[in-house]
Amino acid sequence: MSIPEPSINFATENAILLSFAEPGLNSEEPTLSAEQLQMRIIDLASALRQSTVADLLIDLIPAPGSLLLVLHDGHRARRVLKAAEKYWASDLSSRRETRQVEIPVYYGGDNGPDLAVVAEHCGLTESAIIERHCAPTYTVSALGFMPGFAYLTGLDASLAIPRRNTPRNRIRAGSVAIGGTSTGIYPADSPGGWHIIGHTQLTLFDPDVMPPTYLQSGDTVCFIPQRDKGGQT
Amino acid sequence: MIEILQASPLLTIQDLGRTGLRHLGIPQCGAMDPYALSIANWLVGNTAEQAGLEIVTTPLSLRCHELQWIALTGHDYQARRIDADGQETALACGFSHAIPAGSEVHFPASQRQGGRAYLAVGGGLDVPVKLNARSTDLVNGFGGLEGRPLQRGDMLPVLPQPTSSFNAIQRRHLGIRPWPVSGRLRAIAGVDTELFPEQSRQSFWYHPWTISHNLSRTGLRLDGRKLHIPPQTSRLSAGVLPGMIQVPGGDQIILLSADAQTTGGYPCIASVITADLWQLAYLQPGQTITFVPVSIAEAQGQNSAVRLYLHSLAEQLGIEDHVYQ
């Protein structure tokens, strides 16, 4: 199995962006799937957090297909990169503890005002949308955009739908939505253009607890449909 | 206790910001000019990371309910101390001043808006620490005082004044001169520089960019020339940091600032060096800036030089502080 080599660029004088090529490019060997690659990136970040160079790092920020290493002092970049290279070449998966997180979701009605729109667009019934949204085990490939927002991979391709033409000014925290080929949960009230199909009562970001985000990169996520009405919180 | 008598827009409590939480989507925040806040803190005997006020505009007034030492840095809004008997005293920037119990500090309305000013108070503002910092996160609504700009009637508790280091500063009447804002921002090539055609790269560097009215602690939108990105370019979202310059493809480019979100998908043509980022605190709509290319080594060297200077400044003021070591 070939492991892609990252391209290495300074994002600022104290930060290095490791971008990992799309798997399957420039290689005839079997390569990692996008999901395997992403787990490796997350594993690399946790290995570095526990390594001897941890003190040189302020933060390690995974994103889909990349890892941004933020250093106290860019002069130490060589040492950090050497450590990163060493871990990247080693078997990282043994270090992993994958958390499996279940998200109870109230679908449709006031909780998911766009469920009908999504059903019509996809040519499916509302219950088929719910079923297909709950079927996969998703992976948190990264957190970003806003505190506690998880980039989830694994959406059933038949549920893809372009964003709304007119974004909503306010989407309430906990809304479960689909936009493009992605699905996600809004951790806070915010404007947004995704289609809202359901709602969870879980708090995804709370600055008063540690860790402040309910989901972490590398978690696997399942949506569990709730039968009763749920209602507005 | 410090009481806000009249609040100006976007008046917030800031310290040096939250670090180490961007992987959870949590932005940095903190003073837009961290050096000015640090210096103000040192002048009242605090360590650099204490929380103070970030003032964006005036008029603004506040009352000290007990004797407080304060220091002002950043833009000079010609603040005055007004005592209970009506007597007025000018408060020079870059020095510390005693404000007797019951006296007020007024920042009059100013024709000359010059960006941010910082007010540090001996001891530091005592709002709850949220995720390692007292900084207000206006976008996400936490930190500072209830995650919001300050308003009239807010009462701000103050931590006890550290005495020993402060007495020495008082004895010697030490002051710190502000740095001039040049509008010349040094930058390194960005992670996506290669995506841009040579012509776009050339028109980015050295040519003037105008600060638009769309500027905030999140980022400053700049007007200049349209930079061409090859149309087939698609880019995954990746981690972003303050100082990075994003090119969304329209007529404006975005210079990310302290409150910027943690990931972004727009191509990044350049990144302003850390040693010059403080200037963003003072840029005003209509003002022009230019980007000057420097190497990564020079950017790192400038960062070390600024930190060394600040560290020695703290030492000369008799403050034991390791923030810039």
pLDDT tens-digit series, residues A143-202 = 998 999 999 999 999 999 988 888 888 999 999 999 988 899 999 998 888 999 999 999
Tell me the C-alpha distance between B193 and A201, whole Å.
43
Least CB-CB distance to B188: which of A13, A207, A208? A13
pLDDT for A58 beyond 70: yes
Tokens of B243: 């100082």
DSSP reduced 3-state for B143? coil
Under 8 Å between Cβ of B218 and A146: no
Tell me the C-alpha distance between B123 and B128, whole Å.
14
pLDDT for A93 beyond 80: no
**Contact across the interface for A212 and B238, Cβ inside 8 Å:** no
Superfamily of domain A100-225: Cyclophilin-like (2.40.100.10)
Chain A contacts of B243, Cβ < 8 Å?
A: 12
- How confident is residue A69, by pLDDT bands cut at 50, 70 and 90? very high
Tell me the C-alpha distance between A197 and B116, whole Å.
43
Preferred mutation among A13, A44, A219 to probe B, highest tally of B CBs within 10 A? A13
Residue A5 has what pLDDT?
Answer: 86
Least CB-CB distance to A143: which of B23, B130, B243? B23
pLDDT tens-digit series, residues B50-79 = 999 999 999 999 999 999 999 999 999 999
DSSP B169-195: HHHHT---PPPPP-SEEEEEEPTTGGG
Beta-strand relationship, A168-171 and A190-192: antiparallel
pLDDT tens-digit series, residues B103-144 = 999 999 987 777 999 999 999 999 999 999 999 999 999 999
Residue A9 has what pLDDT?
Answer: 96
Least CB-CB distance to B244: which of A12, A208, A212? A12
Question: Within its chain, how far is the Cα of B129 from the centroid?
Answer: 19
pLDDT for A2 beyond 80: no
Q: Give the chain B residue nearest A62 (alpha carbons).
A: B23
Chain A contacts of B139, Cβ < 8 Å?
A: 146
Tell me the C-alpha distance between A52 and A16, whole Å.
18
Q: What residue ranges define each of the domains in chain B, with the CATH number in brackets?
A: 2-172 (no CATH), 184-294 (2.40.100.10)
Q: If we measure between CA atoms, which residue out of B218, B225, B200 comes closest to residue B288?
A: B225
Q: Which fold has domain A6-95?
A: Gyrase A; domain 2 (3.30.1360)
Tell me the C-alpha distance between B312 and A6, whole Å.
40
Residue B114 has what pLDDT?
Answer: 79
pLDDT for A95 beyond 70: no
Residue B228 has what pLDDT?
Answer: 86
Least CB-CB distance to B24: which of A14, A66, A212? A212
pTM above threshold 0.90: yes
Domain ranges within chain A, ordered by starting residue: 6-95, 100-225
Chain B contacts of A73, Cβ < 8 Å?
A: 300, 303-304
Residue B110 has what pLDDT?
Answer: 85
Our CA-based measurement puts residue A44 at a distance from the nearest CA of chain B, in whole angstroms, of 13
Tell me the C-alpha distance between B22 and B40, whole Å.
27
Residue B125 has what pLDDT?
Answer: 98
